Structure 1
Amino acid sequence: MEFRQLEFFVVACQHGSLSKAAECLYTSQPNVSKVIRTLENELGRPLLERTGRGVSPTPYGQHVLEYARHILNDAAFISSLADRNQGRKFALSSYPSNMIARLLTDYYKVWGDRYTVEHREGTVEEISNYVSEGVSEIGVVYVAQKQLQTFKHILSHKKLQFEPLDVKEACVYVGPNHPRYHDTSIDFSELSQLRFVRGIRDYFSMEHHLAQVSVGAISTEELTYAMYTNSDHLSIDLLLHTDICSIGIDFLHPQYEQYDIKALRINNCEPFLVIGYLHPEDQILSESAQWFVKEFQDIL
């Protein structure tokens, strides 16, 4: 079995036509048919139902199709991990973050002629996996103080270490179209009256953190979420052009003061979010990673 066979089969199913698959794959229709027939012969069962209107997967073919897609996606991901710069790269994982984006831009200005950058965004679990698997050198995360011991216990099984850099408060970000734009703070009890965009949802999400300090004041289940996304660009556009707000950490990179977005302090919300980075145990950071951590800490 070859990747080529799986690719031809998947593309044919996607387009429902061998001729359209041939156009997409820059080959001939007879060749597409021949490659898929070879795969069917190897598996001993038909994968496609062929009619005058086109092709569609058989029940068995539908089952194979699901696995074929996973195999091709995994192969593409593995290929993306190839080190084409002979080790001269800085790999970082983080939450979606304007500040991280700005720091990576500054990184390029200093190190761009010597290193390439690989940046991935994800949940805490994904970030920690990227670091433990060697995909990323470090991972930037924030964790509630009450969750810190649990978090460190999870990391110990992955042979990772968490280096705290600072402690911050949570806040509510609003744009010029929000009715609370001219305010400086807001009470917990008022949050249920607002509409939010919510980011990545996991055990260490911002909303879960908020629940740790607002017990008895408001349940996060009472909050109204109008949009779910892990796109930083969409979140910014919503803040700038609608009455939707977001819950975040109370700090912005100075370069992002260009956006007409304000942070409302949540009254009686003590600093409780620990911000830091992950790295493998007993591993010394590269010179470029040390530079990034220092710049990150200076901003915090």
Structure 2
Amino acid sequence: MSMRGARRSPTRRRLLAGGTALTLGLTALLAGNAATAATASDTTSGRGPGPAAVVFVDDFDGPAGAPVDSAKWRPDPGDNASNAELQYYTDGTQNAQLDGAGNLVITATPENAANHQCYYGTCQYTSARLNTAHTFAAEYGRVEARIKLPQGQGIWPAFWMLGTDFADVGWPASGEIDIMELVGHEPGTVHGTVHGPGYSGAEGIGSGYTLPGGASFADDFHTFAVDWTPDRLVWSVDGQVFHELTPADLGGDPWVFNKPFFMILNVAVGGHWPGPPDDTTSFPQRMVVDYVRVTTNG
């Protein structure tokens, strides 16, 4: 199924240019690593002739209980302002670790995180958020991950990207590409969306993909990808294209996706879009990531 320019509502805001410790911390991180991002974009732009090449890959090989490779990913601890989320993202292996079988496991679990004050009070859950803001930025290519997703009311996993100029221009001018999001009460449907100036928050432009036969994304691994070229984004699940976007689909609003972006993996709990967990939600919930890969277009 393919749909162009469809708007969905409601949606969420993971990063807002506001006065929170999370935003300030990420802003400082991005500002301090602007040179790193620029260098990465020079070598991963996918522009010009040449064969396709893998420019980033993580197969998450390592012993059980080990942290992610810090040369590729770093934890992004804190809460998430202005979105009614209920989790605190920790920075150790408590909520993000290798399983010893070639996977990264991000775990969301109930915890009275009394030492972690969230925007809406004391955090009720812990989880993890990892990004490549300080290690890798891509501009064009195929960005993909093979993931088994969690499910349940209030559970919200995502694989997404944010423009590396966030520190300078803020959100939504930085742009955001959501390669995959799932709200756990709809375990068989994922969403691909963009946010930018004039089409952010509830006005983000995207479309959904639903597995046939009532299957759930929690039942098995699936490959979520964006094929990204100048002035075009194409989303797919297991090779099935379900959404395409070009500047012509923005109704005159700015296209902010011809520049470097970094990657993010996380599992949120609660939030304006999924709502909070209820008595049908089981814990812990785990997002299991087999690999993340970025390939130039050649």
Looking at both structures, which has the greater relative contact order when contacts are Cα pairs under 8 Å and sequence separation is at least 6? 2
- TM-score, with structure 1 as normaliser: 0.22
- TM-score, with structure 2 as normaliser: 0.22
Instruction: Looking at secondary structure, tell me which structure has more strand per residue.
Output: 2
Instruction: Looking at secondary structure, tell me which structure has more helix per residue.
Output: 1
> Considering only CA atoms, is the larger Rg found in Structure 1 or Structure 2?
1
